[in-house]
Structure 1
Amino acid sequence: MSAMGSPQATGSNSSGGRPPAAIPHLAIDPFSIAFFDDPFPAHQALRDAGPVVYLETWNVYGVARYAEVHAVLNDPATFCSGRGVGLSDFAKETPWRPPSLILEADPPAHTRTRAVLSKVLSPTVMKQLRQHFTAVADATIDGLLARGSFDAVVELAEAYPLSVFPDALGLRPEGRQHLLPYAGLVFNAFGPPNELRQSAIARSAPHQAYIAEQCQRENLAPGGFGACIHAFADTGDITDKEAPLLVRSLLSAGLDTTVYGIGAAVYCLARYPDQLARLRADPTLARNAFEEAIRLESPVQTFFRTTTRAVDIGGSEVGEGEKVLMFLGAANRDPRRWAEPDSYDVTRKTSGHVGFGSGIHMCVGQLVARLEGEAVLSAIARKVASIAISGPVTRRYNNTLRGLETLPITLTAA
């Protein structure tokens, strides 16, 4: 295990001294099970405390208001990703895996690799996939309607992306059961050395081996996203060594965000029947209904940045080399930015939400996630009259992601 580095529970605070007294100190642990169960009172406390806070549990700074989170996301020169977007500081400890060329990289290196993925996942490519993704979503909802009652997490939120995304990527049929555990591992590893992170890494060897093998050129079907990425090594845009790592980035970014996003959307529609009625009356709201679920539930809750220089945040100075934790979920419910932020409204103008991030590091899989989310909600809008929660809803715990473990529902056909 030593090759994975020894995570430091002390976080950053590279100066060794105490942070400025003007910055509120909070004892909130954003990586505790109690926090995961109900983060919203803590989110409010974080926002109310000030534009920047100091989290004593892990010795890091935090921003939870929309304005500050958006500002940090859009200033990569001051708040870098190359030192890790989790608690670990890559300048001080060894990453548990080779760093992502997208998520854990800064310009100019990031600009070059990101350009390749932007071409592979362009709007034009999404248009070519739309018909197939829509047909599979329709068939999925038809099949679930025939059954009536089922678990919406396993049989819809997970099953649908797994039925379209790995094929689009060009993965072989065998071994796909490793995909979700691997993505869960990646997002758990951004957290501190708690039980979630340690146990995820401890059982990760088979998942990591599968991913490493699948990302190689010879294992990817022609015409898929993966093969397209490798083709850019032939043109010199990326190296042969970088290509598998970029395929890996897509596997990490393109699946869990979608699974959690679709789960969030179905959960919202089940709890807000008036909004399902609005969606049914106007199925063109499907894309917006998905965006609003991403805003409200924020499947990706947090990410870190590291300061590259001393910087003023909200009137207080934060030194160089400090970890800053961005609470994306809190920003997406900030009443300073959103009217009635805790309600689900499929007609809300959602542009500007940070559920997919913002700026140069905005989620690389967002176009795929949006296409899949829209396809599922469009099928629901046209085919489903009601969604009733029919059993205990349980939460899945992850250091970075917020989503459900079980969501038993009963559908009534339109």
Structure 2
Amino acid sequence: MTAPAASGIDLYADAVLADPFPTYRALRDMGSAVRLEQVDACFIGRFRDVRAALNDWNSFSSASGIGLNPVINDAWQEALICQDPPVHTERRRVITEVLSPVALKPLAETIGRRAEGLADRIAEMGHFDAVTDFAHDLPIGVVMDLIGWPEDVRPRLLQLAEGSWNAAGPENARMREGLTQLGEMMALIAEIYDHDRVLPGGFAAQMIGHAHAGHISRETAIGMLAGYIVAAFETTISAMASGIWLFAQNPAQWQKLKDNPQLAMQAANEIVRVESPLQNFARFCARDVAMSDGVIIPGGSRVIVSYASANRDERQFADPDDFIIDRKEKQNLGFGHGPHGCAGQGLARMELTAVFTALAARIDRFELTGEPQRAINNVSRGFRSLPAQAVPG
């Protein structure tokens, strides 16, 4: 048996989280699995191995939690991302009722209109912040309505969602602050649930209806709603802001989209590949597993499955660090894969495609006008602020 190589790299240091890709490459070069001594978990970062792990829920289980500390794993035990089949399969069916392509089809016109209006405002503003002025618009306006959250809690839910990802990291200051925010978010959702404050007709109302009918418990409904809040808002916001950042740095790719707006969906996928909004999730290795290079991850280990590292794997992608909206390798793991593939990826793609199609018809180029501020987070990758200019054309 070949044990994983060991490394003293701190994957959760500020400097690494700000620019993790050189570290990911170093870990990939060490092997298909590397034991990180700082967190006592095996890092899986090669595309082939990450995809295999995401498909093999029997070996790489989510049911013991997707975080690197027992507190978050206990708090999130009712969240969909912390379930394995058959429980996961049954509960996911509730979500797909509102997020399937058929269910989302009536939203296409609404999203298209909102994207057109947003693109008009960005063209008129000229100078804008790609996070607050741009990326917040569709996820908050469309998704909040889709779920049915009351208007007065929406800003707070968005703020708490980011912190909740921090809670999934190892023991550090960000993790402790994230746990506090997660507790506040769970209490807020419970208050909304108990007082039936959701708007009628939305996903939240359907979820609560399932609980009242006895199909799922109150705790399960609250946990699933919490999981969807965290996954649905911040990730799409991160991808939209990252799109502006990538296009500003790659004007030839923006011109390519302007010349052929049909590339918008491919561009959305490439944004998610290059700047994966969710970088890593943990899993529990339930039994000895052989990786692609013969390394054996021993049963009982915690593993870190890295979507972001896999998406930059030179074994899978030509010029993996380059942003190429019409690249030949179309498959990536930015939306996950297998049973836990992102349930909301259809909606996210719809939003990203609509907004960059609308912008391509109005904007000649994007320029960065100030120093971007990264939101340093244990799990997610995005911007706190991104000053930019949209030059009409």
Task: Report the TM-score range of the alignment, normalised by the length of the smaller protein.
Answer: over 0.9
Question: Cα RMSD (Å) of the superposition?
Answer: 1.9
Q: Distance in 2 between matches of 1:235 and 1:45?
A: 52
Cα distance, 1:42 vs structure 2: 0.9
Which shifted more, 348-357 or 301-310? Answer: 348-357
Shift of 1:181: 2.2
Match 2:135 to one of 139, 157, 174: 157
User: What TM-score does the superposition give when structure 2 sets the normalisation length?
Assistant: 0.94
Amino acid at match of 1:288: Q
What pairs up with 1:9-408 in 2 under 5 angstroms?
22-89=3-70, 95=73, 97-215=75-193, 218-233=196-211, 237-313=215-291, 314-349=293-328, 351-408=330-387
- Give the structure with the larger helix fraction: 2
Instruction: Show the counterpart of 1:409.
Output: 388
1:94, distance to aligned residue in structure 2 (A): 7.3
Contact kept? 1:120, 1:228, Cα under 8 Å: no
Distance in 1, matches of 2:52 and 2:94, equals: 26
Instruction: Name the CA distance, whole Å, in 2 between partners of 1:118 and 1:98.
Output: 20
Shift of 1:159: 3.0
Shift in CA distance, 387/94, structure 1 to aligned 2, threshold 3 Å: closer
SS of match in other structure, 1:103: helix
1:228 and 1:349 mapped to 2: Cα distance?
40
Whether the 8 Å contact between 2:66 and 2:73 is mirrored in structure 1 is no
Matched length: 392
Query: Partner residue of 1:9?
Result: none
CA distance in 2 between partners of 1:203 and 1:257 (Å):
17
* Counterpart-to-counterpart distance in 1, 2:325 and 2:68: 35
Q: How far 1:240 sits from its partner (Å)? A: 5.0
For 1:381 and 1:165, the matched residues in 2 are separated by 23
Q: Is the 8 A contact 2:242 2:271 kept in 1?
A: yes
Taking the aligned partners of 1:110 and 1:205, their CA distance within structure 2 comes to 23
Unaligned stretches of 5+ residues in structure 1: 1-19
More divergent stretch after superposition (37-46 vs 297-306): 37-46
Q: Which runs of 5+ in 2 are unaligned?
A: none
CA distance in structure 1 between the partners assigned to 2:391 and 2:201 by the alignment: 39
- Which digits, 9 at most, give the CA deviation of each residue in 1:35-83, with x for residues without a partner? 0122122111111111111111111111111111111111000100011
> Conserved in 2, the CA contact under 8 Å of 1:388 and 1:410?
yes
Check the 8 A contact 2:3/2:296 in 1, yes or no: no
Between the aligned partners of 1:217 and 1:133, the Cα distance in structure 2 is 30
Conserved? CA contact 2:98–2:104, under 8 Å: no
* TM-score for both structures, normalised by structure 1: 0.90
When residues 104 and 205 of structure 1 are mapped into structure 2, their CA distance, relative to the original with a 3 A threshold, is: closer
